[in-house]
Amino acid sequence: MKYDVAVIGGGPAGLAAAIKANNEGASVLLIEREARLGGILKQCIHDGFGVVRFGQKLSGPEYADRFIQELRRTNVQVSLLSFVTRTVKRDEGYDITYVSAQGVNTVHCGKIVLATGCRERTRNAIGIHGDRCAGIYTAGAAQNLVNILGAMPGKKVVILGSGDIGLIMARRLTLEGAKVEGVYEAKPTPGGLTRNIHQCLKDFDIPLHLSATVTRVFGSTRLEAVEISDVDERMRPIAGTQRIVECDCLVLAVGLIPENELARDLGVELDPATKGAIVDQNCQTMTEGIYACGNALHVNDLVDYVSESGEIAGAAASHGGKRKLKPITPQGKLLYVVPQRLDVNAPIDNVVMYFRVSCELADQRLTVTAGDETVFTKVYSKLLPPEMERIAVNFDKAHTLDDFTIRLEDK
């Protein structure tokens, strides 16, 4: 079998990429390892999705369903319960090997769109000491258990991490009858939106403990208690502040990392700042014919932008020509910027750029330059690490198409 474009991953990024590539005239195969399309949105049953795109607060499954219904009206071939294990470069295009109920299959395709999402950091990644007992879950695993499988991960719960996923799980577990002892956050400020602090914690009288973390877990077979310690400003535990909190479940909501197993196999160059691939404005990686979008590219907080990057990747993968790549150099207080390269042979009149900062900043000016010309500038009264920013830049006006920078500085 041969396809113009193979999309790996059937979450919002992959759905958008497949629909777009199809509509641009490509023959498309969408490969998803689970039984249903929708990716992580299947289990994100809370609302707040689609505000930018649809002007509505949809739940995750409702947002996904709009794209799934649209996909049904296309010619995209969908292969479910199919796990991609290997991708190999051929003279023209790539061979993709996937495992499904039918056995091991290999298909050939011209281009690959990686839309494999992200994975969660685990207990190992943050180094919590103690017993190897049951009852410790990542927030996504706990969410899957409750919202897909209809089972509870525990009765007395401690949540580590105050990002939106941690806050939403605190409310969810409370609604389903668990006692959430508290949400603990090593940083001095909460990670999630203020709105979620209120509607998820305050509404249910769930305590939030800042500058505190879990330092040890206890339990012979099942978790029985955790040790909490206060931490200093460099997030090191302070001796003498330890206390024991009894619980049978610890939920870790301590961060997401782009899933890049397949990208690594293909030798795709990664950005240490995003932990995803380095791409141009069309989401094409530094490896010709390989595109990356959604959370596989960088961790997004709004699904609306995940779909947007899928569409960019899908459209580009169905065309594509000879590239001329120039770096876009971030300067000043930026944590990261995507894209990291500009293909000056491709359209540059509406380049969508995303960036994040590493700490809360007030009164900042963002400037994008080409040579010594300013092509875009914007003032921000407040920038927060959990909120990704999006801009659209027109580079067409620039006289020199080289020496691109993006800079954030005090106003």
Ligand X SMILES: Cc1cc2nc3c(=O)[nH]c(=O)nc-3n(C[C@H](O)[C@H](O)[C@H](O)COP(=O)(O)OP(=O)(O)OC[C@H]3O[C@@H](n4cnc5c(N)ncnc54)[C@H](O)[C@@H]3O)c2cc1C
Judged by CB under 6 A, the residue of 22, 282, 295, 369 near ligand X is 295
Residue 281 interacts with ligand X (CB under 6 A): yes or no? no
Q: Which residues contact 11 (CB under 8 A, 6 or more apart)?
A: 38, 39, 40, 41, 64, 115, 117, 294, 295, 306
Q: Which of the choices ligand X, other proteins, none does residue 17 contact, using the CB cut-off of 5 to 8 A by kind?
A: none
What mask, x for binding ligand X by CB under 6 A, covers residues 222 to 251?
A: ------------------------------
* 54/397 with CB nearer ligand X: 54
Spatial CA neighbour of 117 closest among 262, 251, 254: 262
Residue 319 interacts with other proteins (CB under 8 A): yes or no? no
Measured distance CA(392)–CA(317) in Å, rounded: 20
Number of residues in contact with other proteins, rule: CB under 8 A? 32
Residue 62 interacts with ligand X (CB under 6 A): yes or no? no
Q: Which residues contact 396 (CB under 8 A, 6 or more apart)?
A: 348, 349
Phi, psi of 378 (to 5 degrees): -155, 145
Q: Which of the choices other proteins, ligand X, none does residue 110 contact, using the CB cut-off of 5 to 8 A by kind?
A: none
What mask, x for binding ligand X by CB under 6 A, covers residues 89 to 128?
A: --------------------------xxxx-x--------
Q: Which of the choices ligand X, other proteins, none does residue 42 contact, using the CB cut-off of 5 to 8 A by kind?
A: other proteins
What mask, x for binding other proteins by CB under 8 A, covers residues 164 to 203?
A: --------x--xxx---------------xxx-xxx---x
- Radius of gyration of the chain measured on its C-alpha atoms: 22
Stretch that binds ligand X, among 161-169, 174-182, 218-226, 393-401 (CB under 6 A): 161-169
Judged by CB under 6 A, the residue of 4, 7, 9, 250 near ligand X is 9
Angle at CA of residue 374, ends 371 and 376, nearest 5°: 130
Beta bridge partners of 393: 351
Judged by CB under 8 A, the residue of 1, 88, 148, 244 near other proteins is 148
Measured distance CA(79)–CA(81) in Å, rounded: 7
Burial 253-291 (b: 16+ CB within 10 A, else e): bbbbebbbebbeebebebbebbbbbbbbbbbbbbbebbb
Whether 398 and 370 have beta carbons less than 8 Å apart is answered as: yes
According to CB under 6 A, which residues from 358 to 397 bind ligand X?
none
The residue count of the chain comes to: 411
Interface positions with ligand X (CB under 6 A): 8-14, 31-34, 39-41, 44, 49, 83-84, 115-118, 120, 139-140, 143, 164-165, 168, 256, 259, 294-296, 300-303, 306
